[in-house]
Homo-oligomer: A and B are copies of this chain.
């Protein structure tokens, strides 16, 4: 179960990579058990993994049989250790399976290479466990978040619904099932080709807010309900910002439709900027207090979007083609899509960087280009958003 207090320490704990996590031998059943244990939260699970990495390969292989003492050895408190021991027991794990089946829920963990959304894995604090109800395959689509104020105007709702419908023609629309903009975006997207994902602050088995019960049921059938909180979680305010990080983390970008200055919906936009995702803003009147908070994001580099085409245009290079079949393998498709619209020299440099991140000096050596020309080629690739520069003048593909 999530623990608010430990979130404050979060910044100091490194999240292990998938490869590191798998090497510890931890199983997904134990990971779920820890996630659901009372008083054990995201940071504690991160430290368990780090302990496993430190102890060496396979050190958590038998953690399904660990007793309280074993958990205490890893730094858990007495209370946490006891909760862990109880939660990993076979009987508890079986009870859970029954609960999931009854609730028509699937569970995806950080250890599930294929099912866990790859963009979500890239954020600083990815969820260890996700509960789902509905079409799990929506997690594999390119996704765009649409968020905004609960106190939407007619204009805002109309734009959100139209944008939801338009975007869902080629991307899955992610939002938070809140009243106002969220609900309108889901409503527009739910019947469209790429559908919609509602990320809930509580469990997927409980609709919040109750006003959206019909939409909640429809998304559970035609779309996907997603939550980090286990079933039967009691909602509290701290869960909403955590939910928002998943909305931002799943998505190529976040579209803000309407939001007052300091609106809660803007937390998702801030998170997106923090994750190096794009923020789009639907224009509205500067004199409307319900628009101003969104419009102010232009000053943080948000892009104006009039309709879905402005968003597609931005991601053209990394989206599956409209007419072609859906890619069997996301990574391979990304590579060939990234090469479209590049000239010969840009292609050469792009492929070098695709192979592995490289410094300017390495690229000059491998490409055989003069620095002046290489500089220009890199600039073009940056402008075309195929690559990005990170610290130490090292280039990565986007």
Interface size bracket, A side = 35 or more
Give A296's nearest chain B residue, CB to CB: B306
- A315 at the B interface (CB under 8 A): no
Give the distance to chain B from A345, nearest Cβ to Cβ, in Å. 13
- Which of the 9-residue segments A10-18, A95-103, A241-249, A284-292 touches chain B? A284-292
Give A159's nearest chain B residue, CB to CB: B286
B283 touches A307 (CB 8 A): no
C-alpha gap A382/B383 in the complex (Å): 12
Which residues of A359-385 have CB atoms within 8 Å of chain B's CB atoms?
359-361, 364, 370-373, 375-376, 378-379, 382
Give A292's nearest chain B residue, CB to CB: B306
Give the distance to chain B from A83, nearest Cβ to Cβ, in Å. 50
Contact for A393 among B360, B364, B376, CB less than 8 A: B376
B393 touches A287 (CB 8 A): no
Contact for A306 among B158, B286, B364, CB less than 8 A: B286
A360 touches B375 (CB 8 A): yes
A287 touches B158 (CB 8 A): yes
Give A376's nearest chain B residue, CB to CB: B393
Give the distance to chain B from A334, nearest Cβ to Cβ, in Å. 25
Residues of B within 8 A of A373 (CB): 393
C-alpha gap A373/B393 in the complex (Å): 7
- A130 at the B interface (CB under 8 A): no
C-alpha gap A379/B361 in the complex (Å): 16
Given A286-B159, A299-B310, A304-B283, check contact A393 B372 (CB 8 Å): yes
Given A375-B360, A393-B376, check contact A285 B286 (CB 8 Å): no
Question: Could you pull out 18 A-B pairs where Cβ atoms are within 8 angstroms?
Answer: A158-B287, A159-B287, A281-B304, A283-B286, A283-B295, A284-B284, A286-B307, A292-B306, A295-B304, A296-B306, A298-B306, A298-B310, A299-B306, A299-B310, A360-B375, A361-B372, A375-B375, A375-B393
Q: Which residues of A contact B (CB under 8 A)?
A: 155, 158-159, 281-287, 291-292, 295-296, 298-299, 304, 306-307, 310, 359-361, 364, 370-373, 375-376, 378-379, 382, 389, 393
